[in-house]
Structure formats: structure tokens, C-alpha cells
Structure 1
Amino acid sequence: MRPRSLEEVVGQQHLIGPGKIIWRMVEAKMLSSMILYGPPGTGKTSIASAIAGSTKYALRTLNAATDTKKDLQVVAEEAKMSGTVILLLDEIHRLDKAKQDFLLPHLENGRIILIGATTENPYITINPAIRSRTQIFEVHPLTIDDMTAAIDRAVSDPERGLGKLPLELDEDAKQQLILTANGDLRSALNGLELAARSTAPGDDGVIHLTSQVIAESIQQRRIAGDKDGDAHYDVISAFQKSIRGSDTDAALHYLARLVEMGDLPIIARRLMVIAYEDIGLANPPACERAVAAVQAAQQLGFPEARIPLANAVIELCLSPKSNSAIAAIDSALARLAKGNTGEIPAHLKDAHYAGAKKLGHGVTYRYPHDFPEDWVRQQYLPDRLQNDRYYQPKQNGTFETAYAKQYQRLLQAQRGRQ
């Protein structure tokens, strides 16, 4: 079912639809090397095949991890003789320096049109020398409509599909196949073929593919993103941003994806970061409860760990939010990065050793607990920084509202306005 032209490609219309960038390149026969980046089974190889079919150029397929420099030399020799060869290089993020150095001159002279395929973010994993000579295009998981069209075509196509078989795919079985594949067409087609080839015809001579047959043929729902993959970090990012945005259902969805991946350490770490970064002083008890939930989850392990984690996520979503603490420390760090430190006031310096008083260290220090309300006005910041203010309190919850009032009261008292 591999596409022979751009018209046969399912999905990715933002790249291969009429008037879009790859469509224009093929129409003008002005191909440039490219990297196609996205989840498995979404059409990277299909696009390369369709480009070759539409332009009539030879297509050669290699794997950057397993094929050798000698295999690249064979493709280069063919390109010398024929003029242009399209090279589909799978797992291009694993291209080593020797292969890269061999390939670069052939990309420069245009004899080899490179189409690199990767599931990893090329801006992170691919050498800049290759990136600078290619266009980078992201492909997306296929929609339900895309998957439906592709499966219908595979069932009915007598030449390259299953159309010669007396096959009947129940509607609910088709929906199960689509949902279970989760945007991965390769997985769906493999499951469909396995189901069709392993099921005997019924009394009526028809192969009936039911939900049970499909479930046995494609058993595990595919979750995009392994623990080290780019898609995994996208889920983590969406998880934090959903809690920050107070969308409880979205946060639970992304938590479920992380739970399904089984990555308890990253959930625990991220949840504690979220608690103190995004909720912070607006609701300190919620931060404490998030830490307690993480500790409980770590002791329980999966599957029970999902329960305290869900409790924490729901509370953090519905809690008032404040990023004033992280903003305050980042402000202080930014000030330091510009070289603004200043000398520590003498009365604050360490005075526990003999001779400290001769240096004037700690002599005029005023011990706050000797004064009413355990506070006394004295300077703590270095002279050159004494007017700096890093903490900008918010008033999104009862806790920080109280902290804000106390901060302003102490600030005015420190300045002698009380």
C-alpha cells in the first residue's frame, strides 16, 4: 500500500497538499534535501516513495544506524551514472561522522537528494552540518479520517491490498483498529493484515473481522514517545502547562499518558517542580501535600501510585497560582549575573572567631529577638544593592495575600516610614 504518487499519500496535507511546499517542489522538479520528523507510522517513508514516484527518480533506502559507508558509496556511484538519486535515510539522527563526511559533498552537488527520516527532534539530535543543508518538515499523527480512508483503501484494493479476499471488516472493529493504532498507520495495516490472514472464512465463505479478532491482532494501544524520546518531553511539557492553566481534565489526560509509559521518576520530579513553581506561595499546603503524594506514589509503585498522583494533580489544578517565588530568585540571579554583588555589611559578617571585633565584624549587629515582635530596623543588603527588590508578591490566594501585606509593612518599616 506504499504510495506511488503524492495523491496517494494519506494525511500530511500541510506538506503534500496542492500548493504546499513539497507539492510545489515536486511540480517544479526542484527538489532539495529534507528531514521528515515525527512519530512512527505517520508517512515519512511514504512521502519519500511518493516523491520518487512523482519525479521518476530512483529511490534507494538505507538505515543510518545499520548500513555502512560502503552502502552509501554504492548509492553515490549510481547517482554519478544516472544524474540524481533520492536517498531515504532512516534513523538519520544516528548518522556517524564518517558517513556524514562522505555524504556532505554529494548533497552539495545535488546528485543525492537526501530525505532523512527520524522520530527524534532534529534540532536536538542531528549534526548542524546536515541540518544546514536540509529543509526540516514535521509530520503529524494521522487523524481518524485519514486512518479510515487508508484502511478502507487497503480492504478494497485488489492489487496491493486485501481486495481479493472475501473480507468483511465490521464497523466497530474498524473503529477499534483505528483507535488502538493511535495515528500509526503502519501498526494499523499490520494488524489488519494479520487479522485477515489468520482468520478462517465462515460458513458463508466470508472472512469476518470482528472486534475480538482485531483486539487479538493489535493488542496494545500505542502511546507515542519512549522515555528518552522527543514526544515524551512534549507530554511532560503539556502536563505542566495544563496544571498551570488550571485545566484539570487535560492535566489528568497527560498524567494518564505518563502513567501508561510507566515513568514514575519523571512524574514525581515534575509534579514537585510544578507545585513549587506554579502554585508556590499562593497555597503552600498544596505544595506540601503534593510532596506527600509523590512520596506515597514512590512507596506504592504502579498501578496504585496513580491514586495519590491523581489527588495531587486535581488539587494543584484547582489551587490558586503564583510564580512569585521563582520570579524572585530568578531576578536575584539575573542581578548577580551582571556582576552586582557588593560587600556584605560589616555587622552581618561572621564574628565567631577571635579578632573578629578588631575587624569590626558583627560589632553593631542588632539581634532581632531582643526587640518587640522579633524585628529591628537594620541594613541587610550590600550598600550598592540596598534598594533592590526581587520579590513581587501576588494576591491570588489567602496565603500570599497575607504575605504581601507583611512584606509591604516590613519594607515600609525598614525604610523608616513606621
Structure 2
Amino acid sequence: MHNEPLAFRMRPKNIDEVAGQQHIIGKDTALYRMISKGHVPSMLLYGEPGIGKTSLAYAIAGTSHLPFIALNATVSGKKDVEQVVAEARITGKVILFLDEIHRFNKLQQDTLLPHVEKGSIVLIGATTENPFHDVNPAIRSRCGEILQLNRLEPDDLVVLIERALLDEDRGLGKMKIGMNDSQIRKIAEGVNGDARKALTLLESIISASDEEEGKVIVEDWLIDNLIGRIGLVGDKKGSHHYNLLSALQKSVRGSDVNAAIFYLANLLEIGDLIAVSRRLLVMAYEDIGLAAPEVGPHVLAATEAAVRLGMPEARIPLANAVIEMCLASKSNSAYKAVDAAVKAINDGKTGDIPLHLRDTHYAGAAELGHEGYRYPHDTPIGTFGGWVNQQYLPDKIKQAEFYEPVHAGEEKRLAGIYERLKEFRKEK
């Protein structure tokens, strides 16, 4: 009887047993060849939970036959790091696997980094957070490889499940289990690319199944029931959450309704309604903008309704907002215009405000020359309202143009007005 979970027992013993991640550790990769020949570089492993970061570290250690020590940065202190350093002095070289490496503090770094730099400690760090955002530069600079792992494909998980069913030492091979190929495939496709969840689910299914004449009989309804209780990968603060927000915005920008709704559903299942509402409102003005100016107020109303309703009803107004944004005409001209103006200011391309535009609501303004402003409303121009031909930008940048209209949707009409006003100015 095993005490350890199946997912722990089935960790690969060497790099040939690694499921998936062939872009990193496939036989035609440089990393595979280096490790096979005994050279293990320090590296960072980045990816979502359950996709094999820890397993890959154990597999590398198993192939290299180097002493292996695993620590978690959230609970390890300076004493733990000093023990690793002491082990390295005795053995000559040791692999340190440091999970949650983005939580590594400066005191631990100061103790460890010199030994990583000279090669007596091979550091394999694992993180679910973007290492370029959350891992200390001192650590990154000493890790020659920053490897991003992907969720496993169903075919990879099928191999992993079948291996667990057949392995008599570490897996379930000593049991008689009645499970067919379609049931294995259903597990593989129902865990969102998470190897740990696949093996945990398999173990739960076997333990919950009935036995008949010494054989475990797995039923489809039980698989469906347990798959339905598996949570999504990600949380409100992790990198995956921000990747989902990014994917949602890019799908709306690309007018892909189905992808946008999919990422919206993922985000709502994670549960951060405020962050989703905020991003949707930004998108309405950043990506739809002047091409469909009515969309902004629509999205504001939808997000306010969603916050007031709460989940699960909040999904309804937000789905309306996402689909409307996907199918709306799009323009980013407004935010590009203000960004261009900010850049000009930061580059020193500015000047004095023209005298006739300065404040005159005080005695003595005329003595300072703050006069000459002409009130546009006093000069009607067709159905446009009022307009006069006078200078508004400082002299040094009076010819600057920050706004470049996009000829889409309602902005096509606005662009026509903009171009006509430019022609009027040239007649001055």
C-alpha cells in the first residue's frame, strides 16, 4: 500500500520519461544533449501549476546522477540554504531545486549566489509567475536558460495515464482495472493540460469505483462527476490571470467572438469580476474608441450592472458587452494621439502657451498681453457649430499633428471634419 499520492510516485526518473514539453527536453534539443552528456546548466522553469516543472527537475537530477535537494522559497530560511552550500562543498556539485523561486529573499540570495556563479550549485528554479516580472535579476542573470513550459496535450496525458496503469512498482499495475481507451481519453481531455490533476483524478476514480471479482470496474458517470469538480488553473493574482486578460483583449481587438467569450468565461470562473470589468471598460475606449463612440457608455452600463448583480448573473451583461465590442468598428487613434503628445512633452518638444489662450479672469491680464482670443461660438460654420481660424498650439510646435484618424465606422465622419478643418487653417 502506497502512502504517497500517485502523482508523486509517477514523477519521471529520467528525461526520457518526461511527458510532453518536447520543445524543451525532446531528444533533438540542446538541453537534452547537454544533460545526457552530464552537463546541467542552471535554469528557470516557468509555467502554470501541474504541467511538470517539478517533474522535469527530478528527471534532470535522475539523468545526471548529481545529488539533489528540493526547497520551497516560501518556507526555506538562511539555514536551509547554508545546508545546501555545505552539501556542495562535500560532494563537489549539487542540484538545488527551488520551487516558488520568485519568493527568494535577498539574504538567501547572498548566501547562495556565489556558489551558483562558480558552478558548485546548479540552480533549477520553478515559478508560476513571469520570471521577467517577479524573479530577482540577480537570479535571472545566473540562470543561462529560462524555459517556458506548456500545458500538456491530451496525447501526452494519455501516455502518462497508461504508464501509471501499467507500472507495478510506482503505479497501479498490480491492480486489475477495467478502464477502456475512451475513458482514458476522457480523463486526458478533462484536466486542462494538468498532469498532476490527471493522475490525481485517475487515483480518485479508481478509489471510488466498485470491484467485481477482484477487478475494479470504472463507469463513465463517475469520471464525468469527478471531472466536473476539477477547478480551473489559475488565480486572481497569478501570471495566468493576466495572460487571460491579455488574451481576452487581443481576441476582442481581433473581432473573434468565440475566443473572446471563451476567455471571458475562464476569467469569470476564476472569480475576479472587478478586474474583468475594469479591463472591458479600458478596451471600449482603447480598441473601439472613436469608430463606435456609443460602445464606451454601453460597456460602462454593462460593467456597473455586472458588479451590482454579482455572479452568476454578471456573466450576462458582460457577455453582451464583449460581443458588441468584438463586432464593433475599431479605432485606437485617440489613445495613440495622447501618447504621441506625452512623448513630445517628454522629448522637450513644447513651448509657451500663446498669449491669447492664457487665463484672463483677473485684473491686469491685459497688461500682460493676455488678450486677443476670439470666441468660436460667435462665428457659426454650417451645422458644425462655431469655429474661427486661430492658433492654439505653442509657436515652437504649431505644425505638430498627434491625431491620425482611422477611417472606420463613425470615425470616418469625424476624420472628414478633421481634414476639412485642416484645409480651413491653410487658408489663413
Q: Tell me if TM exceeds 0.5.
A: yes
What residue is the counterpart of 1:324 in the other structure? 333
**1:340-394 deviation line (CA, Å, top 9, x unaligned):** 22111111111111111222213x2111122232212111111112111111111
Q: Which residue of the other structure, out of 261, 277, 287, is the alignment partner of 1:278?
A: 287
Using the TM superposition, name which of 209-218 and 280-289 deviates more: 209-218
Matches within 5 A, 1:68-83: 68-83=77-92
Residue pair 2:357, 2:370 contacting (<8 A) in 1 also: yes
**1:244-270 deviation line (CA, Å, top 9, x unaligned):** 111111111111111111111111111
What residue is the counterpart of 1:292 in the other structure? 301
What residue is the counterpart of 1:369 in the other structure? 377
What residue is the counterpart of 1:48 in the other structure? 57
What residue is the counterpart of 1:396 in the other structure? 408
Q: Which residue of the other structure, out of 193, 199, 206, is the alignment partner of 1:196?
A: 206
**1:136-171 deviation line (CA, Å, top 9, x unaligned):** 111111001001110111112111110111112244
Aligned-CA RMSD value: 1.6
Residue 57 of structure 1, CA deviation: 1.3
TM-score by length of 1: 0.95
CA distance in 2, matches of 1:274, 1:403: 20
Matched, 1:225 2:234: yes
Using the TM superposition, name which of 52-61 and 174-183 deviates more: 174-183
Q: Which residue of the other structure, out of 215, 225, 235, is the alignment partner of 1:206?
A: 215
**Structure 1 runs not aligned, ≥5 long:** none
What residue is the counterpart of 2:163 in the other structure? 153
Q: Which residue of the other structure, out of 367, 370, 377, is the alignment partner of 1:358?
A: 367
Matched, 1:10 2:19: yes
CA distance in 2, matches of 1:229, 1:401: 40
Matched, 1:130 2:142: no
TM-score by length of 2: 0.93
Residue pair 1:279, 1:316 contacting (<8 A) in 2 also: yes
Residue pair 2:209, 2:219 contacting (<8 A) in 1 also: no
Q: Which amino acid in 2 is paired with 1:380?
A: Y
Residue 218 of structure 1, CA deviation: 5.0
Secondary structure at 1:88 match in 2: strand
Residue pair 2:47, 2:150 contacting (<8 A) in 1 also: yes
CA distance in 2, matches of 1:357, 1:197: 90
Identity %: 49
CA distance in 1, matches of 2:380, 2:228: 71
What residue is the counterpart of 2:149 in the other structure? 139
CA distance in 2, matches of 1:327, 1:400: 14
CA distance in 2, matches of 1:63, 1:233: 24
What residue is the counterpart of 2:399 in the other structure? 387
CA distance in 1, matches of 2:196, 2:380: 74
Secondary structure at 2:123 match in 1: strand
Q: Which residue of the other structure, out of 344, 367, 370, is the alignment partner of 2:353?
A: 344
CA distance in 2, matches of 1:217, 1:403: 56
Residue pair 1:182, 1:221 contacting (<8 A) in 2 also: no
Matched, 1:164 2:174: yes
Q: Which residue of the other structure, out of 262, 276, 283, is the alignment partner of 2:271?
A: 262
Runs of 4+ in structure 1 off by over 6 angstroms are none
Secondary structure at 1:132 match in 2: helix
Residue 102 of structure 1, CA deviation: 0.8
CA distance in 2, matches of 1:348, 1:78: 74
**1:56-84 deviation line (CA, Å, top 9, x unaligned):** 11212111111222222222222222222
What residue is the counterpart of 2:103 in the other structure? 94
Residue pair 2:47, 2:128 contacting (<8 A) in 1 also: yes
Secondary structure at 1:181 match in 2: coil
CA distance in 2, matches of 1:65, 1:218: 30
Matched, 1:84 2:96: no
Residue 331 of structure 1, CA deviation: 1.2
What residue is the counterpart of 1:412 in the other structure? 423
Secondary structure at 1:253 match in 2: helix
Secondary structure at 2:142 match in 1: coil
Secondary structure at 1:284 match in 2: coil
The total of aligned residue pairs comes to: 414
